[in-house]
Structure 1
Amino acid sequence: MGDFDLNSFVQTVCIWAIPVLFAITVHEAAHGYVARHFGDDTASRLGRISLNPLRHIDPIGTVALPLFLLALGGFLFGWAKPVPVNFGKLRNPKRDMLWVAAAGPVSNFVMAIGWALLMKIALGLEGFGLQEPMFLMGQAGVSINLTLMVLNLLPLPPLDGGRILVSLLPMRQAMWVSRIEPYGFFILIALLATNTLSTIMAPLMRIAAMPIMFILH
């Protein structure tokens, strides 16, 4: 096992488990809720507008891969089961697609603010036994939510940013971009494997973290 420290790994998993589950659950439920608001009840009928993590967990993307990456101590990456959205049922499919797609990243930003406030509270609890776990969990919550927000806003279908781009572009260009979707996941994996993804995301993460730094100041 080399330098692998099992106790440290278990402690890390305990700190990260709740923030990760909240991040993916609220993200996916937000997509379904906004889709229902604009006319598509697909996710609602399938019980996916729910804060029950079991309805959104993907065994590989939500559990196995994040645990593996945590063990390596590298870039945390993963996914949940996508909430089904029938864009054809939206009242104005091309326009409303933007709001449905943006709902997930927006929910992650709101959660990042919430976790930052927990960190702020923990900083004021000097001498309290749970101060350090509270701070570390808040830190994990900020990290995973900002990561998911920035990652999902990349303009690559089927990420949320890709759908936002399709919504904003004129129809001809939108159709061209939408043709990338079947290959988007493989492009993302290639970017991750070559470390290009973290290079792209690093400056965007610094920008996204500015409101958090203001809260913690």
Structure 2
Amino acid sequence: MELTFIQKIAIYALPVIFAITVHEAAHGYAARYFGDMTAHQAGRITLNPLRHIDPIGTILIPALTLFFGGILFGWAKPVPVDFSRLRHPKKDMLWVAAAGPASNLIMALIWALIWKFAPALSPSMAVPLSLMAQAGIMINVVLMVLNLLPLPPLDGGRIAVSLLPNHLAEKYAGVERYGFVILLVLLFTGLLSQIMHPFINASISLISWLFK
């Protein structure tokens, strides 16, 4: 089924907002649980999307990637986390970083459940809901895979820093200042798609198998 650009926006808007909002809120909840109140004090531990939306990263960039095709790409305003305020900074960093991708996995499974039961509804509801659920699965899987790449400041980079021995972790954490530039280079050269697609396809196949 070929969708117009406006139809794509209507189908993808809610899954994108949920995926990014819950991802960021999950970081804040995890940070608070492990002792850092920075996000709580900034009012960022909330499911209110207005507190997390970045006009460029959450709206413009995803819309452009939908229009031109390719991997859906975007970001929200990062939830502030002061890792030094965690009870065990290096160890707890892993759980705070992993909370975001874990929330995307959970949301992908919820959308898969919706996709499985949508056909039981009337056709006028079943078709748009099925399309939205498919979009929700894809968006959350892409965000999960993207954020698990071992590149600081992505969540996977912070997980790697947490797991590495101290002398290596310090050096690896220094990559963070160049991380966003490296990510953009990978995106515009097409290398990001080549790296991510096998993991995206494997994740989608596993979810399809679970809910077939």
Matched letter for residue 99 of structure 1: W
Alignment of 1:1-217 (within 5 A): 8-125=4-121, 127-217=122-212
- SS of 2:124's partner is coil
* Offset of residue 130 of structure 1: 1.0
- SS of 2:21's partner is helix
Cα distance in 2, alignment partners of residues 66 and 167 from structure 1:
30
Cα distance in 1, alignment partners of residues 205 and 67 from structure 2:
28
Cα distance in 2, alignment partners of residues 208 and 8 from structure 1:
27
Runs of at least 4 residues off by over 2 Å? none
Cα distance in 1, alignment partners of residues 12 and 118 from structure 2:
16
Cα distance in 2, alignment partners of residues 97 and 20 from structure 1:
26
Deviations 1:25-84 (A, max 9, x none): 000000000000000000001110000001001111111111111111222100000000
Cα distance in 2, alignment partners of residues 140 and 205 from structure 1:
13
* Offset of residue 129 of structure 1: 1.4
Whether contact under 8 Å (1:116, 1:215) holds in the other structure is no
Q: Percent identity of the aligned residues?
A: 59
TM-score (norm 1): 0.94
* Offset of residue 214 of structure 1: 1.7
Gaps in structure 1 of 5+ consecutive residues = none
Cα distance in 1, alignment partners of residues 144 and 133 from structure 2:
16
Matched letter for residue 40 of structure 1: D
How big is the alpha-carbon RMSD for the aligned residues of Structure 1 and Structure 2?
Answer: 1.3
* Offset of residue 210 of structure 1: 3.3
- SS of 1:163's partner is helix
* Offset of residue 122 of structure 1: 1.3
Cα distance in 1, alignment partners of residues 62 and 123 from structure 2:
30
Gaps in structure 2 of 5+ consecutive residues = none
Deviations 1:159-210 (A, max 9, x none): 0000000000000110111010010000000000000000000111122223
- SS of 1:187's partner is helix
TM-score (norm 2): 0.97
Matched letter for residue 100 of structure 1: V
Cα distance in 2, alignment partners of residues 61 and 162 from structure 1:
20
How many residue pairs were aligned?
211
